[in-house]
C-alpha cells in the first residue's frame, strides 16, 4: 500500500549532502548564540579559568576586543558577568548600585566602541556583589529576603540600563521582581530595554565552574534551594514562566540547558514565546573534559548539542562555545 516499504524509503532523502540540507528541519546560525563573558579589573588583563578550559576573565579593554570579535562573527549579543573584587563585596551588595562599578564601566566601553553592532545583556542578582554569595539580602536567620531584595534589584536594573544595557536578565528568582523592574524601566523611560527572565532556574549541580569564574564558590553560605527551583519539578516551571510573562518579561530562560530540554519544550508549546536556554558552565566543562580524555570530537559535540537546543524550541542559547561554534558555522 502507499506509504509502506518499499514505496516509502526514508533513506532516499538522506542519500546525498544536498538532499539532507534541503530536508533539514532545524538550522543553527551564529545569530542563535549569546556569548557569556566575564569582566575583571585592570588593564590588559586576561585570567584563564582553570575549571573552564578556554574561558577567561578579561579586563574592560580586552573585553571590548572580544565584543568586536563576536560582532564580526555574527553573534548578536553578549551576556556580561563581573568578577567583583573582594573589598567591594558586602552584606547588602551595595556595589551593584554603583554607577561606576565593573559592569557599568564594561557596558559604557563596549557601547562607545561598537555602538549598536552588538546587544548587551546584563545579569541582575546580588551574588557577584555580596560577601556571602547569595543572590539576595539575608535576614537574621540566614533566609534570603524576597521583597527587600527586590528593592535593590530594581536599583541594579536601572543602574545597568543607564549604562547602556539592552537586555536586563534577572537571575535571582525572587517572586515579583519582573513586575517591579518593568515598572521602574517604564517610569525611567527605558521602554525599549528588554527583560529576559531567568524564569525557570533550577538549584543545579552544574553551576560550579561559573562560581569559580565570578569568585563566589568560597563565599557561598549554605545553598540556594529556597529560591531556585527543585530539579524534580515541571509544572512549577510553567507557573514561574506564566507569572514572569504576566509581569512584563519579553522572553524567558531555562537554566541549566541540556538536562532540562523537556522544560524548554513544555514552555515553548505552552506559551509560544521566545525561550532561551543557558548551556551552563558544568555542561561546557563536561564537553571539554570529554575532548581532553579523547572521548569526543569537540566540533561535532558542540554543534550537536547546540542544535538540540534549537530542535527543542529555543530561540537562542547562551553558551561559552559561542565563538567556536560561530567559526564552525561560517565554514
Active-site amino acid positions: 201, 255
> Binding site for Mg(2+): residue ranges?
240
Name which of 153, 147, 159, 143 is nearest 105 in CA terms: 159
The answer for residues whose C-beta is within 8 angstroms of residue 22's C-beta and 6 or more apart is 13
H/E stretch holding 180 reads helix 177-187
- Please report how the helices 102-114 and 146-163 are oriented relative to each other, as an axis angle in degrees rounded to 10: 30
Rounded Cα distance, 47 and 215, in Å: 12
Name which of 187, 84, 183, 64 is nearest 129 in CA terms: 84
Rounded Cα distance, 126 and 132, in Å: 10
Name which of 84, 96, 39, 85 is nearest 64 in CA terms: 39
Rounded Cα distance, 203 and 198, in Å: 12
> Binding site: residue ranges?
240
Cell numbers describing residue 265: 519544550
Q: For 127, how many CA atoms within 13 A lie in the half-sphere containing its CB?
A: 27
Relative to beta strand 275-279, strand 251-255 is parallel
User: Each residue of 32-57: b (16+ CB within 10 Å) or e?
Assistant: bbbbbbbbbeeeebeeebebbbebbb
By CB atoms closer than 10 A (0-12, 13-18, 19+), residue 164 is middle
Rounded Cα distance, 48 and 111, in Å: 25
Cell numbers describing residue 197: 527572565
- At 95 the three-state DSSP class reads helix
Amino acid at each position: 500500500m502507499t506509504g509502506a516499504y518499499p514505496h516509502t524509503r526514508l533513506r532516499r532523502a538522506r542519500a546525498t549532502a544536498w538532499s539532507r540540507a534541503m530536508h533539514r528541519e532545524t538550522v543553527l546560525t551564529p545569530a542563535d548564540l549569546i556569548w557569556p563573558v566575564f569582566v575583571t579589573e585592570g588593564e590588559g588583563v586576561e585570567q584563564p579559568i582553570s575549571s573552564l578550559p578556554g574561558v577567561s576573565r578579561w579586563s574592560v579593554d580586552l573585553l571590548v576586543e572580544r565584543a568586536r570579535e563576536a560582532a564580526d562573527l555574527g553573534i548578536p549579543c553578549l551576556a556580561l558577568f563581573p568578577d567583583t573584587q573582594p573589598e567591594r563585596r558586602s552584606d547588602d551588595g551595595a556595589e551593584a548600585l554603583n554607577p561606576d562599578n565593573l559592569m557599568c564601566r564594561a557596558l559604557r566601553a563596549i557601547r562607545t566602541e561598537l555602538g549598536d553592532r552588538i546587544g548587551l545583556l546584563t545579569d541582575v542578582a546580588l551574588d557577584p556583589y555580596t560577601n556571602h554569595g547569595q543572590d539576595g539580602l539575608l535576614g537574621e536567620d540566614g533566609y534570603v529576603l524576597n521583597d527587600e531584595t527586590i528593592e535593590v534589584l530594581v536599583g541594579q536594573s536601572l543602574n545597568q540600563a543607564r549604562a547602556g544595557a539592552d537586555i536586563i536578565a534577572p537571575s535571582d528568582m525572587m517572586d515579583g521582581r519582573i513586575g517591579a523592574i518593568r515598572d521602574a524601566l517604564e517610569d525611567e523611560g527605558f521602554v525599549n530595554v528588554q527583560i529576559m527572565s531567568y524564569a525557570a532556574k533550577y538549584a543545579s549541580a552544574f553551576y560550579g565552574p561559573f562560581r569559580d569564574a565570578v569568585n563566589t564558590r568560597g563565599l557561598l553560605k549554605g545553598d540556594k534551594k529556597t529560591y531556585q527551583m527543585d530539579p524534580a519539578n515541571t509544572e512549577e516551571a510553567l507557573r514561574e514562566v506564566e507569572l514572569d510573562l504576566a509581569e512584563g518579561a519579553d522572553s524567558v530562560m531555562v537554566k541549566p540547558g541540556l538536562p532540562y530540554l523537556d522544560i524548554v519544550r513544555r514552555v515553548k508549546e505552552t506559551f509560544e514565546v521566545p525561550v532561551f536556554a543557558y548551556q551552563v558552565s558544568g555542561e561546557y566543562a563536561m564537553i571539554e573534559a570529554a575532548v581532553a580524555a579523547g572521548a569526543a570530537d569537540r566540533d561535532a559535540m558542540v554543534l550537536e548539542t547546540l542544535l538540540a537546543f534549537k530542535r527543542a524550541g529555543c530561540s537562542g542559547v547562551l553558551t561559552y562555545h559561542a565563538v567556536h561554534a560561530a567559526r564552525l558555522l561560517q565554514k
